[in-house]
Amino acid sequence: MRLRAFALLAATIFALAGCGSSATRESRSLRHATLILDFTPNAVHTGIYSALARSYDVDAGVRLHVIAPAASTDAIQLLETGRVSFAILDIHDLAIARERGENIVGIMAIVERPLAAVIAQPGIRSPRQLDGRTVGVTGDPSDYAVLDSVVAGAGGNPRKLHEITIGFNAVPALLSGRVAAATAFWNDEGVALPHARPGFHVFQVYDYGAPSYPELVLCATGSTLRHDPALAGDVVRALVRGYRFTVSNPKAGAADLERLVPGLDPRLVSEELTVELPIFTGTDGQVGELDLPVLRAWARWEARFRIVSHPPDVARMFDPRFLSLAER
């Protein structure tokens, strides 16, 4: 229900991507790069759109084109086939792609915390109370890991759950009473639901045993990073500036997003951005941070809850050097 038509949105964003550039900047010789998002544009992408609106990409010598996927698998497919240069991927999708043998590498964190959660009906005050209840999942492999981690972390028994696939329909499934709980995102459905009905409980996977892994990561293929590391460094530099601006100027950042992506609900953008601002920065206060010790803990969690069969090799899966280049 949340995905827009790819062609229309892509065309719109391609047209808008150049907004804010001066004639002098346009006259420069710029390299072009395409970035596909993980989902339709929303508050979590604010730093990307501030980078476009304020020409941070142009300042870095790149004309960055941003498109949205028509389906959840589009980002990896387009990245693997070379039709896009960069992609925002869910870290679990990155792990699954790596296990398939795809040489995709994370080069910058977009958020520093998990966004996954289990949202439960008002009468359910602990995940332990879900034993024997019906819980909705989208069908993504990571959903089952999140659900099991949350329930087990609260002392419940995941084997006693009755799971049904509801796709990305957590909000209507919860409002209708079809499910006692559903896997969702605390920064999305967790913000939207109280407007329809207050009282729902949001159990973040981070609070129930999961490490503080970066849910969304900027990625490129190993081939791109080998053949044009400067391009990757320049894109990271632009996005780091964009997210720094968003953290320091959230109202202006939200305005950038809303201007380049018409049709967004300003109230929801503001509310989502408010809860997301603390997770745009790592423990050292910097945006984009890839903390390898944290990622190693995530890798063990990823295998423990069977998203992948073996812990990912984070030293090969992530390359933080482009963040260092962005500081220059």
Condensed to tens digits (0 to 9), the pLDDT of residues 117-175 reads 999 999 999 999 999 999 999 998 899 999 999 999 999 999 999 999 999 999 999 99
Map residue 209 onto helix, strand or coil.
coil
Rounded CA separation 88/160 (Å)? 35
Those residues of the chain that have pLDDT short of 50 are 1-25, 27
What's the pTM value of the predicted model, to 2 decimals?
0.89
Q: Which tokens in the block code for residue 10? A: 């892509």
What percentage of residues in the chain have a pLDDT greater than 90?
85
AA identity, residue 273: L
Q: Domain 6-112+213-326's class?
A: alpha beta
* CA gap 245, 241 in Å, rounded: 6
Residue 11 CA to residue 28 CA, distance in Å, equals 23
- The one-letter code for the residue type at 217 is V
Task: Tell me which CATH code domain 116-208 carries.
Answer: 3.40.190.10
Alpha carbon distance 27, 70 (integer Å): 33
Which tokens sit at 41? Answer: 């544009």
Compute the distance between CA of residue 200 and CA of residue 115 in angstroms, rounded to an integer: 17
Amino acid occupying residue 53: A
Domains 6-112+213-326 and 116-208 equal at CATH topology level? yes
Where exactly are the structural domains of the chain? 6-112+213-326, 116-208
Q: What is residue 327's predicted lDDT score, i.e. its pLDDT?
A: 66
- Residue written as token pair 């929801």: 268
Could you give the count of Cα atoms lying within 13 Å of 179 in the half-sphere of its Cβ? 26
DSSP string, 118-164: EEE-TT--SGGGGTT-EEEE-S-HHHHHHHHHHHHHTT--GGG-EEE
- In this prediction, residue 2 carries a pLDDT of 39
Residue 170 corresponds to which tokens in the numbers above? 């957590």
Q: State whether residue 182 is helix, strand or coil.
A: strand
